Structure 1
Amino acid sequence: MTSYDPAAEVVELCQDLIRIDTSNYGDDSGPGERTAAERVAELLDEVGIASTLHESTPGRTSVIAHWGGDGSRDDALLVHGHLDVVPAEASDWQVDPFAGELRDCPQGGLSVWGRGAVDMKDFDAMVLSIVRARQRAGVPPARPVLLAFTADEEAGGHHGAQPLTEDLREHFDGVTEAVGEVGGFSTTIRGRRLYLVEAAEKGMAWMRLTARGTAGHGSMINRDNAVSDLAGAVARIGAHAWPVALTPTMETLLAAVGELAGVEATPENAESLVEEFGPAARMIGATLRNVTNPTMLQAGYKVNVIPTEAVAHVDGRFLPGFEDDFFETLAKLVGEDVELDFVSRQRSWEMPYDDTAISRAISASLLAEDPDAVVAPYLMSAGTDAKHFGKLGIRTYGFAPLRLPEELDFTGLFHGVDERVPVDALEFGARVFDRFLDLA
């Protein structure tokens, strides 16, 4: 086999992509992904891989390309990453969030800083570095691979993954499995690295609550006050204590944590076991139950005028298998005087993981680089493009491998200030994912 270095360009490519501002404000007011998509297409074209650019809305551009396959298999693997990022307020950062700066970090050594460094231009860079190195060396993977770099993931994928699956459906023929973001990163439990692989995802319900009442003077009695009705609903939703409910994925993860902690995992000690994750418990803890967080309020235009209408937004996330309970409970909390409709509603999903071919390939590729580690599936608290690809019957997983220092609050960097990824983690991820492509 011709030798090659899958990590040869990963740092440079990560910096390159960060320097292209693809901020997604959720309302098409940002720069869009066109420039980044064209850069990805150019990088693929340089090594002889043709790609297709797709825009459902001007400037909201995704890229897909077919790669590999020696004829021995007809079951293709989808490898996907998104090109958009959430906005960044430069005055809050130590560095220019779109400079892709290399700088030391006390918790991770030399790191690439910038918006998208962990969500998710790091994985885009890993994939491109691997593809370019293997293509130049003449060693594409035996399994056919569909590459997808999408727009709009940060606002639900409605201008990215969703139209890809609808408008270019033929490109997904034969794709049986997919891997994408937010999985394969390490945490440290009792001195042992534990790699978390996304095998499930909570459903998403971005909701708008609207209360309507009788307008009037603020000095008078008004028993049909839209603000009061809305405030009551919001308070009930925000205060509701959703019970612990474990899915099969979380039962597997907690069993692994319990083994490391020397205790048997049970529903009763689930929350204490999650505390073993340290700062990551903020994210992992949200996968033990349904969650509803009021996020926006709007009503009125003058202090002495009772408005006709009051509006609130709520971010709801529900567990796989618990959707009916979620919406039945929510209806009771909202009450009859407040109208509920959806800004976005997307399904939850959960995939088989234990002793499957893909789980064996993931574990083997990680353990080859980190033999003393533990690998386990987990349930993702937020949403990814996997929701859209899963609608095609594709088995989806989150596997963007990173070996991280114990002291780095990695999950806090998602959408956070001073987002950064250690260079060592990027290079580790490229080596692991390169091996995975031959094992998957």
Structure 2
Amino acid sequence: MAEPVEFPNTTGNGPTDAPDVVDLCARLIRFDTTNLGGGQSEGERDAAEFVGEVLASAGVESRIYESAPGRANLVARIPGSDPTLSALLVQGHLDVVPADPAEWRLPPFSGEVRDGFLWGRGAVDMKDFCAMVLAAVHAMARDGRTPRRDVVLAFVADEEDKGEFGAHWLVAAHPGLFDGCAVAISESGGYTYHVRDVEGQAVRLYPVGTAERGTAHLRLTANGRAGHGSRRNPDNAVVKLIGAVHALAAHEWPITLTPSVRAFLSRTGEALGVEVDLGDVEGTLARLGPAASLAESTVRNSTTPTMLQAGYKVNVIPGTATALVDTRVLPGTEKALLADVDGLLGPGVEREFVAHQAAVEAPVDSPWFDAMASALRAEDPGAVVVPYCLGGGTDAKAFASLGIDCYGFAPLWLPEGFRYREMAHGVDERVPVAGLRFGARVLERLLATI
């Protein structure tokens, strides 16, 4: 069960102080919410109950919705001062990927602070965001402030698998919870990305996710004639599969510039003082230097073979061979991509979806994006806020199906040299304490003014 919610007086201003975001994040990390996949998960109910208690202590009512025993999703709605305005959805997941303690310097569920960092599985993916949201809500309640528009909070299960017990289930089973929501924020954006301009001066980019490539995970099945390995067999399923997989892996998918990627290249190039030639994207990426890593995987589609399976004995030609291909699809390109895939597979190889979720694209030029940029610049006046497209995916794919514009905005200040993007799912995952406090302030400002 969740530990009782008691908050220390962290700022010395009296008993109504909001809880410290670092303490909140540490306590969330200590819930082992490991998602093993295949419907197997731990601790999500306990973590959701803790979140509910924290919200209750700020005067916010919430409810837990279970998609299956223990697979808990908590939803709350904070009424805004102007009921005519559309609502903002703030969504995050409470589950985490597995962590092997033998590989870590500190126990992965200790939630220990050391050397200015909070350590633990989920510290950046994404219990940091969940804690920052809770701290921001508490700070607003402490000061008697009400958001302008309704704010819907969703803390969900199962993002680290398929979302079938979390966001996708909520959207299908309880869509009314999100009535009136026009925009959503969540993980994978709004963090400091340190680069240098052409004169060597430091530039602090803050990429905000305005798009995600779609997911079209494919299973390829090659059928042939089973037989003895010593005999000639022109209908060998393994050979057919190898040819199809090689064709997909070797294919150079054409560059396709979506609005988010186009805006990223133009605005980042301007901030760095480098030439941007959208007719020569590879050359432009080379000139962007380290900043190119934010776009290099999203200027084209991708088909990456990841798993192969065939046969049971070395001297037996199997009648069937299969492969899994991680296919990622840019907004607006899926139909053409799949047609090309079918042409590359060749005869005797069929494809089917293992997972299929559409790409996400929110407006780059919008009041929502402007409000996020303003909230960041209020805390870091030197922030250069740019849109970008995520190469992978998040629960935004579920909420976007309701017509909600979804943005990756989990603000976090990061020190130069900190390899933040390697932390998610990595060993020794950790987040800077100062970054958590920065993010809580940015979110508080955004919730109060958007």
TM-score band w.r.t. shorter chain? over 0.9
CA offsets per residue over residues 40-59 of structure 1, 9 Å max, x none? 12222233322121122222
Does the alignment pair 1:246 with 2:257? yes
1:385 Cα shift? 0.9
SS at match of 1:48: coil
Q: Which of 402, 405, 426 is residue 392 of structure 1 equivalent to?
A: 402
Distance 2:190 2:275 in 1: 24
Matched residue, 2:149: 143
Q: Which of 387, 407, 422 is residue 412 of structure 1 equivalent to?
A: 422
Compared CA separation, residues 273 and 18, structure 1 to 2 (3 A): farther
Unpaired runs of at least 5, structure 1: 105-109
Matched residue, 2:216: 205
Distance 2:449 2:282 in 1: 35
The Cα RMSD (Å) is 2.2
Does the alignment pair 1:258 with 2:264? no
SS at match of 1:353: coil
Distance 2:122 2:17 in 1: 21
Distance 2:421 2:154 in 1: 24
Letter in 1 for 2:404: I
TM-score in terms of structure 1 length: 0.93
> After the TM superposition, which of the residue ranges 372-381 and 40-49 deviates more from structure 2?
40-49
Q: Which of 304, 312, 318 is residue 315 of structure 2 equivalent to?
A: 304
Answer yes or no: is the 8 Å Cα contact 1:208–1:312 preserved in 2: yes
Does the alignment pair 1:120 with 2:126? yes
CA offsets per residue over residues 313-337 of structure 1, 9 Å max, x none? 1111111122222111111222231
Matched residue, 1:378: 388
1:310 Cα shift? 1.5
Distance 1:189 1:429 in 2: 20
SS at match of 1:115: coil
SS at match of 1:267: coil
Matched residue, 2:241: 230
Does the alignment pair 1:95 with 2:106? yes
Answer yes or no: is the 8 Å Cα contact 1:73–1:142 preserved in 2: no
Matched residue, 2:199: none
Letter in 2 for 1:188: H
1:32 Cα shift? 5.6
CA offsets per residue over residues 402-428 of structure 1, 9 Å max, x none? 121221121122222221111111110
Compared CA separation, residues 251 and 409, structure 1 to 2 (3 A): same
Compared CA separation, residues 187 and 181, structure 1 to 2 (3 A): same
Does the alignment pair 1:60 with 2:71? yes
SS at match of 1:91: helix
Distance 1:4 1:239 in 2: 63
Unpaired runs of at least 5, structure 2: 1-12, 197-201
Matched residue, 1:165: 171
Query: 1:64-83 maps to which residues of 2 (within 5 A)?
Result: 64-83=75-94
Compared CA separation, residues 277 and 136, structure 1 to 2 (3 A): farther
What is the number of equivalent residue pairs in this alignment?
A: 433
Letter in 2 for 1:413: M
Percent of paired sites with the same residue:
50
Answer yes or no: is the 8 Å Cα contact 2:217–2:355 preserved in 1: yes
Letter in 1 for 2:429: E
Matched residue, 2:441: 431
Query: 1:240-389 maps to which residues of 2 (within 5 A)?
Result: 240-274=251-285, 281-282=292-293, 284-354=295-365, 356-389=366-399
1:132 Cα shift? 2.2
TM-score in terms of structure 2 length: 0.91
CA offsets per residue over residues 142-188 of structure 1, 9 Å max, x none? 21100001111122322211111121122111111111111111212
CA offsets per residue over residues 174-230 of structure 1, 9 Å max, x none? 111111111111212211101101111111111111122222222222222221111
> After the TM superposition, which of the residue ranges 284-293 and 128-137 deviates more from structure 2?
128-137
1:401 Cα shift? 0.5
SS at match of 1:170: helix
Letter in 1 for 2:134: L
Letter in 2 for 1:25: L
1:339 Cα shift? 1.5
Compared CA separation, residues 280 and 189, structure 1 to 2 (3 A): closer
Q: Which of 179, 183, 189 is residue 177 of structure 1 equivalent to?
A: 183
Distance 2:68 2:330 in 1: 32
Distance 2:388 2:158 in 1: 24
Distance 2:285 2:119 in 1: 29
CA offsets per residue over residues 99-152 of structure 1, 9 Å max, x none? 222122xxxxx1111211111111011001111232243323221100001111
Compared CA separation, residues 171 and 340, structure 1 to 2 (3 A): same
Q: Which of 80, 85, 92 is residue 96 of structure 2 equivalent to?
A: 85
1:90 Cα shift? 2.5
Distance 1:286 1:247 in 2: 12
Compared CA separation, residues 334 and 24, structure 1 to 2 (3 A): farther
Answer yes or no: is the 8 Å Cα contact 2:139–2:444 preserved in 1: no
Distance 1:296 1:280 in 2: 31
SS at match of 1:286: coil
Distance 1:59 1:39 in 2: 14
Letter in 2 for 1:416: G
1:260 Cα shift? 2.6
